[in-house]
Structure 1
Amino acid sequence: MSDYAKGIDISYNQGNLIDSINTENTDLSFVICKATGGITIQDPDFPHNWEKIPQQGFIRGTYHFYYTNDAPQSQADNFFNVVGNDFPSDALPPVVDFENASIKTSDHAQIIDDLLDFLELLEQKYQRTPIIYTNQSTGDSYLNDSRFAKYPLWVASYASSPKLPSTWSNWSLWQYSESGDINGTAVDEDYFNGNLKDLKQFIRQSSISS
């Protein structure tokens, strides 16, 4: 997998890991950190991680953990309040984490409509096309609507090759391991579907500003 740019995703669970790693002592190119979840959850380490990641030489990204029982606008406001009004042009697009733990309601059509509304709110605010993080099972159960296909896929799949939800024909990011170890700290490990140059091009192309 040497052709793929490599990264990790972190939250408060990894503590101050970002302080001890950089592009000189790891083979990582990007680090994605948690910002928010639902309407009230705010990762206490986000401000430090968000500032420190580029200082350590990495491309940064951030994600919101989505809950189906919380209003899309309220969840978006939580994310905006934490991340800020301006999204860095050299960062990965904002990520929406949608997985089995996101599902708190049973109305399938409403889940789809609300999630699409949330994605649109992110697009309008930051003029970037968001990324959807999910796995094959959750994606096939809840994201089986062609309107989601326009959003790049970050798929969690702990196999020798990524297993995709049927809505997507390709992946942009692949969380290939949930059992990585850096300096004794457990981390999720990720690939971008291309090299570092491709990753930077992907970031540029995610802009939808005129």
Structure 2
Amino acid sequence: MSNNAKGIDISYNQGNLIDYIDTNNTDLSFVICKASGGITIQDPDFAHNWETIPQKGFIRGAYHFYYTNDAPQSQADNFFNVVGNSFPLDALPPVVDFENGSIKTSDHAQIITDLLDFLDLLEQKYNRTPIIYTNQSTGDSYLNDARFAKYPLWVSNPTTAPSPKMPSTWPNWTIWQYSFNGNINGTDVDEDYFNGDLDDMKQFIQQSSNSM
């Protein structure tokens, strides 16, 4: 994967790591940071991370941890309150983190309907096609609906294999979280690949804008 743009994803758990890294002292091209979760969770380090990531030469991204027991509009409002009313055109599209910890209800059809509503709220607000973060197991259990295929996939599958295990809804991945065991300056980080090089990533960002 030597030609793939490489990145990490961070939250308050990584502390002030962003203050000590840049594109000159790492091989990273992008950093995705947590913004919010559910209807009340707001990452205390988001504002600093969000501002600092591009200053250090990285492409930035932001994610929301989705919970199925919270109303889509309320969750969207939480994300908007944290990120703001506009989304930078040079950033990766907003990310919706949907994993095993997201599942707090049992009505499968309602989970699908609500998540699609949430994705649509983000898309309408920012004119960007959001990214879905999930893994094979959760994706096959809850996102097995063709309507999700329009959203780019950030697949989580830590492995040394040459490609990740994929949920069946998607033919391919856009970002692959290939490791939970990265370490930068003594700080544990998740490691990610973009499915292409830095120029490919910039083109993907351009094409994710619905206003073009």
2:82 matched residue in structure 1 = 82
**Within 5 Å, which residues of 2 pair with 1:31-42?**
31-42=31-42
Q: What's the counterpart of residue 96 of structure 1?
A: 96
Counterpart check, 1:179 vs 2:181: yes
Query: Structure 2 CA distance, aligned partners of 1:100 and 1:155?
Result: 13
Deviations 1:113-138 (A, max 9, x none): 00000000000000000000000000
Aligned-pair distance for 1:84? Answer: 0.1
What is the TM-score when the length of structure 1 is the normalising length? 0.99
Q: Structure 2 unaligned segments of length 5 or more: list them.
A: none
* 1:189 maps to which of 183, 188, 191: 191
Whole-angstrom CA distance in 2 between matches of 1:3 and 1:172: 14
Letter of the structure 2 residue corresponding to residue 90 of structure 1: D
Distance, in Å, in 2 between the alignment partners of 1:78 and 1:133 is 18
- SS of 1:199's equivalent in the other structure is helix
Q: Which runs of 4+ in 1 moved over 6 A?
A: none
* Matching residue's letter, 1:24: N
1:141 is paired with a residue whose SS is helix
- What is the CA distance between 1:206 and its match in structure 2? 0.1
Equivalent in the alignment of 1:66: 66
Q: CA RMSD in A?
A: 0.5
Q: Deviations over 1:47-83 (max 9, x none)?
A: 0000000000000000000000000000000000000
Please give the TM-score of this superposition, normalised by the length of structure 2.
0.99
Structure 1 residue 3, shift from structure 2 partner: 1.2
What amino acid does structure 1 have at the position aligned with 2:84?
Answer: G
Give CA-to-partner distance per residue, 1:81-134, whole Å, 9 cap, x none.
000001000000000000000000000000000000000000000000000000
Q: Quick one: which amino acid aligns to residue 125 of structure 1?
A: K
* Gap regions ≥5 residues in structure 1: none
SS, match of residue 164 in structure 2: coil
Shift of 1:209: 1.1
The CA distance in 2 between the partners of 1:121 and 1:115, in whole Å, is: 10
